[in-house]
Amino acid sequence: MRKSTVPIGELARSVGCKVQTIRYYEQIGLLPAPVRTAGGQRRYGAAHREKLSFVRHARELGFPLPAIRELMALTDHEDADCARADAIARRQLEAVNRRITMLNSLRGELERMLRHRPGRRIRDCRVIATLADHGLCSEAHHPEPANA
């Protein structure tokens, strides 16, 4: 067994992710399958660590997995034009800006609820009343729940 390879737990610790995450990325083809020892233990090399670090950093920046897959595919063509990578990053920036707008709106609504004199009893509580009656909310619309 080569010393340059490490078990999955060590790879996970070195990159700062969970073992289950590594297995999932392998399952969906985002990470290549590792070599296995005679006993079936996964062993990971430097290339796995580099790819996993790339994925982790992209995830921290909010890139969805399909965009990460596309970006990783671009790394196989080092001399290609970087316009596709720019376009992917631009889409991500637009998504971040939409989320910031939504969060600013949510913050404003929470601040508005809390500016009202708080009731001493739940029956007089502006927070509870606003959450119970969408009509009291100053925002004309809210994003639909993810599981609606």
Give the tens place of pLDDT for each residue, 47-70: 999 999 999 999 999 999 999 999
pLDDT per residue as tens digits for the range 93-136: 999 999 999 999 999 988 888 887 666 787 778 778 778 876 66
Angle of the 8-15 helix axis to the 46-60 helix axis, nearest 10 = 40
- pLDDT score at 142: 53
Distances, alpha carbon 15 to alpha carbons 31, 32, 45, 52, 76, in Å? 14, 16, 13, 7, 22
Dihedral sign for Cα 90, 95, 100, 102, please. positive
CB 31 within 8 Å of CB 55: yes
3-state secondary structure of 114: helix
Distance, CA of 113 to CA of 130 (rounded, Å): 7
The pTM assigned to this predicted structure is 0.74
30-36 mean pLDDT: 93
For residue 72, pLDDT over 80 is answered with yes
Transcribe 64-116 into DSSP letters: -HHHHHHHHHHTT-TTS-THHHHHHHHHHHHHHHHHHHHHHHHHHHHHHHHHS
